[in-house]
Structure 1
Amino acid sequence: MATTLTTRQVERLLNTQPSQDGDGVNIQRLHEFGGGLDPFLMLDELASDQPDDYIGGFPPHPHRGIQTLTYVIHGGLTHEDHMGHSSTIHAGDAQWMHTGRGIIHSEMPLTDHDGLHAFQLWLNLAAKDKLSQATYRDVRADEMPELQGSNASLVALGGWWQSLAGESVDGPLDSLAGQGAIAHARLDAGGEFSLATRATTLLVYVFAGSVDIAGTRVAKGQLARLGAGEELSLNSTDGAQALLLAGEPHGEPIAHYGPFVMNQQTELEQALRDYRDGTLTD
């Protein structure tokens, strides 16, 4: 007897809010430091064809206790850090940073004829990994495998993704916190995509057009948190693009201050002392 899969329903919608970061960079931001999107913490979208919105970039600044994933749609970003890494990512590329005990880095924008469009995602590290060694990795567009749907496709940045037809791909980023998985879905007009996923946390962020998920319309600039189930079905009448985020919650306390995310207030205070003393990255 065939097993009937439960379709995942939208249980919560969040809207991005305008914000600024770095040297006056205008962004759209979603954040949840109360554990509501665990293991994910924050998603920033940088999208503008006006250089004044982003040209100041993100001069050197610290992080501790998180992973970041930066993904470029068009334009580019150049990364430099205290460990000596220096690299540039362009359209379709990503960079992953495991900050662990501490990283000091900068990200400076590059533009093309359409300006800059990129995302940065923060993932929380489990308590046991918050003071681990910092690491960094670039991933190029041609390293990312694809799944095909009906007038739709999915690019896997990280983690394992499977269609209902049984086809699956593994994204090159295989060390994402909270067993994280991240993908970029593109749907043409009338496009459909159905995935098999049992991840406890499953999020869909729409950044172009609109997507229908089990009868709920998710518009551009909205993030949908989905309820329990085994099947995710995406449909779009007019075409859409979205980021898909899946993972397993840490279920641990979260203490946040600026670029630092720890478990306790005392650990945040220690991070600030270490940064002031110049020992954050030791």
Structure 2
Amino acid sequence: MKLRTLAQLWPAKQVSDGAGVKIRRSIGLQPQWRLDPFLMLDCFGSDEAADYIAGFPPHPHRGFETVTYMLDGHMLHQDHLGNQGHLKSGGVQWMTAGRGIIHSEMPQQESGLMRGFQLWLNLPAAEKMQEPAYLDLDPAQIPAVVIPQGQIKVIAGTLQSPAESEPLLPVTTGPIRAVSTQPLYLDLQLHSAATLALAVPAGHNALVYPYEGEVWLGTHRVPLHHAGVLTNGDSLELRTEGPARVIVLAGKPLQEPVVQYGPFVMNTVAEIEQAIADYQQGKLTDRAAKVLQI
């Protein structure tokens, strides 16, 4: 067993996106802050309606996937074909933009707390022009594993203990499986003075992001709203002093060039220019978006 340690800390900074929604961005805040295959990680959260009410009106994407995890609140997704999905507290939407999709994400509340994450996950060159698709998951479809240290929600990948670790976690697989990047996406809710060891595939890039409280990796502290980028290894061990909630992400790096222009992520400048031209000429979305089921 080789424990991962803290390699870098990337603090989330407040920015605005969509029609003025206030968010905290860590991964993707700067080009050098990408963590292959992760392009961007946004944390949104406010109980002030003015911070989120304008939402994300129709906008295009090509070449990657978005994963929206709603902790609190209610958002309506719509795409260019009229497909709709209601994303409510505890739910997840996994959208593959592929060759192109135009969609919107609009709040369905005028007051109260709206909080969650959106992750941008890259696609390999061979899959960037696939048909777009999306998968809506109700909270009941996401396994929640209760352990002495707290609770773990398994959104993607497999939860398990490191080799030779005791006590053993119940092996639990999330509903989302992206073959090319093999993502692990866990939401941990940990009690005070908790210690938890997790298996993380060796060779995958990985990070932890506390969104309530803070966590420790050995003697290194990962503060609230910081992306803690990890060294390589096959496991990690988190420790808390007070209660904490933290996202754990890992993914297989694609090791391909990344050229990004706003909502388009391709491998070459020529492909970006083609995406822009396709959008301007109404050719970005000439195929239907599939609504997937599990």
Q: Which residue of 1 aligns with 2:290?
A: none
1:30 is aligned to 2:31: no
Contact 1:75/1:111 (CA < 8 Å) preserved in 2?
A: yes
Distance 1:149 1:242 in 2: 15
Q: Which residue of 1 aligns with 2:158?
A: 160
Q: Which amino acid aligns with 1:280?
A: L
Q: Which amino acid aligns with 2:227?
A: L
Aligned-residue offset at 1:179: 1.1
User: Cα gap change, 1:113/1:194 in structure 2, threshold over 3 Å: closer, same or farther?
Assistant: farther
User: Cα gap change, 1:216/1:228 in structure 2, threshold over 3 Å: closer, same or farther?
Assistant: same
Q: Which amino acid aligns with 1:235?
A: R
Contact 2:24/2:44 (CA < 8 Å) preserved in 1?
A: yes
54-63 vs 186-195, which moves further: 186-195
Aligned-residue offset at 1:146: 2.8
Q: Which residue of 2 aligns with 1:63?
A: 61
TM-score by length of 1: 0.94
Identity %: 39
Aligned counterpart for 2:184 among listed residues 181, 195, 202? 181
Q: Secondary structure at the match of 1:249?
A: coil
> Over residues 148-179 of structure 1, what are the superposed CA-to-partner deviations in whole Å (9 max), with x where a residue is unaligned?
44322210011112124152111001126511
Aligned-residue offset at 1:34: 4.3
Q: Which residue of 2 aligns with 1:201?
A: 205
Distance 2:248 2:183 in 1: 10
Distance 1:149 1:14 in 2: 29
Distance 1:77 1:130 in 2: 26
TM-score by length of 2: 0.90
Q: Secondary structure at the match of 1:178?
A: coil
Mapping of residues 61-100 of structure 1, within 5 Å: 61-100=59-98
Distance 1:213 1:112 in 2: 39
Q: Which amino acid aligns with 2:160?
A: Q
Unaligned segments of structure 2, at least 5 residues: 163-167, 287-294
Q: Which amino acid aligns with 1:193?
A: L
Distance 2:190 2:102 in 1: 37
Aligned counterpart for 1:220 among listed residues 209, 219, 224? 224
Mapping of residues 251-262 of structure 1, within 5 Å: 251-262=255-266
RMSD in angstroms over aligned alpha carbons?
1.6
Distance 1:180 1:142 in 2: 20
Q: Secondary structure at the match of 2:50?
A: helix
Aligned-residue offset at 1:68: 0.1
Aligned residues: 278
111-120 vs 237-246, which moves further: 111-120
Q: Secondary structure at the match of 1:73?
A: strand
Contact 2:49/2:112 (CA < 8 Å) preserved in 1?
A: no
Aligned counterpart for 2:174 among listed residues 171, 175, 181? 171
Aligned-residue offset at 1:99: 0.4
Contact 1:75/1:112 (CA < 8 Å) preserved in 2?
A: no
Aligned counterpart for 1:18 among listed residues 2, 10, 14? 14
Aligned-residue offset at 1:266: 0.8
Aligned-residue offset at 1:39: 0.4
> Over residues 49-94 of structure 1, what are the superposed CA-to-partner deviations in whole Å (9 max), with x where a residue is unaligned?
1100110000000000010000011112110002332011111100
Name segments (4+ residues, structure 1) moved above 4 Å.
none
Q: Which amino acid aligns with 1:239?
A: P
Tell me which protein shows more strand as a share of its residues. 1
Unaligned segments of structure 1, at least 5 residues: none
User: Cα gap change, 1:204/1:91 in structure 2, threshold over 3 Å: closer, same or farther?
Assistant: same
Aligned-residue offset at 1:113: 6.3
> Over residues 19-48 of structure 1, what are the superposed CA-to-partner deviations in whole Å (9 max), with x where a residue is unaligned?
111111111112334474100010111111
Contact 1:150/1:193 (CA < 8 Å) preserved in 2?
A: no
Q: Secondary structure at the match of 2:207?
A: strand
